[in-house]
Amino acid sequence: MRTAGAGPRVVSLVPSLTEAVAVSAPGVLVGATEWCTHPAGLDVARIGGTKNPDVAAITALRPDLVLANEEENRAPDLAALRAAGLDVLVTEIRTLDQGLRELERVLAACGAPRRPRWLTEAEAAWDAVTPVGPVTAVVPIWRRPWMVLGSDTFAGDLLARLGVRNAYEEHPERYPRIPLDELRAIAPDLLVLPDEPYRFTANDGPEAFPGTAAALVDGRLLTWYGPSLAEAPRALSWELTRALRAASR
């Protein structure tokens, strides 16, 4: 629970930022979305989803600051919050470097007492990463219809640092819909299947690409910008390497 004198009152509309703020500036969060699942047991008011926040509920919390992201949240909702007189900090995160800078900006705005250890560890971990490639991958994020990572995405940048080239990195769209036949025709070295936003599993996803190495990865490690960045290089490298080795047997 929030304690008196704990700093600014903050509402977060972004799961990644919710976790980053909760562990780095305890006590400042007063509201978060239903999708803000980390850290476990976070005791704050729930104010709807990332795409449909309850503006009235947020306003009633009297926050000093609302945290948002240009991709995760809708412009009309952010405009409504500003019209209600609230200060909205909007982040833009398309690369790891950009993410690290934006995290520092957010934490400073939230009154974090010091640079968190996890942020320093994340920088060091990614600086020391050993690529698993070069390999080419298709990275579905949805099916029915099939959608994949396209150009200019945070997840795509992380994969590139791991030696994995996204087959659609030059597509004009960031999350294009691609027919399954076209995806199969690329014959990628690897299929990267995160468990969010679509929950791909061993029985739901790999069967659509027979004969292709498939890495089932924690979507939080691939798409979240926060404390998970410190463990992401090791964990993702392990999963990608395991999938490639299993396919070569």
**pLDDT digit string (tens) for the chain, length 249 residues:** 455 445 799 999 999 999 999 999 999 999 999 999 999 999 999 999 999 999 999 999 999 999 999 999 999 999 999 999 999 999 999 999 999 999 999 999 999 999 999 999 999 999 999 999 899 999 999 999 999 999 999 999 999 999 999 999 999 999 999 999 999 999 999 999 999 999 999 999 999 999 999 999 999 999 999 999 999 999 999 999 999 998 776
The pLDDT, as a whole number, for residue 243 is 94
What is the predicted pLDDT for the residue at 5?
47
Longest dimension (CA), the chain: 61
Select from 234, 240, 236, 221 the least CA-distant residue to 38.
Answer: 221
Task: Return the number of other C-beta atoms located less than 10 Å from residue 99's C-beta.
Answer: 22
pTM of the complete model:
0.92
C-alpha to C-alpha distances, 49 to 13, 55, 81, 195, 216, nearest whole angstrom: 8, 11, 14, 18, 26
For the chain, list the domains and their CATH numbers: 10-115 (3.40.50.1980), 128-248 (3.40.50.1980)
Would you give the DSSP letter of residue 179? -
> In this structure, which amino acid lies at residue 160?
A
Burial class (CB in 10 A: 0-12, 13-18, 19+), 133: middle
Q: Give the C-alpha separation, 27 to 13, whole Å.
A: 17
Candidates 138, 154, 158; CA nearest to 146 is 138
pLDDT of residue 202: 96
Task: Please name every residue paired with 29 in a beta bridge, in sequence order, or none if there are none.
Answer: 10
Beta strands 29-32; 45-46: pairing state: parallel
CA–CA distance, 233 with 132 (Å, rounded to integer): 11
Task: Give pLDDT, residue 1.
Answer: 45
pLDDT value at position 6?
Answer: 59
| CA atoms within 13 Å, Cβ hemisphere of 163 | 16
164 bridge partner residues = 135
Q: Cα separation of 187 and 167, whole Å?
A: 10
The reported pLDDT for the residue numbered 23 is 96
- First-residue to last-residue Cα distance in the chain: 52
Helix (H) or strand (E) segment spanning residue 91: strand 88-91
Q: Exposed, middle or buried, 195 (CB in 10 Å: 0-12/13-18/19+)?
A: middle
Cα–chain-centroid distance for residue 71? 10
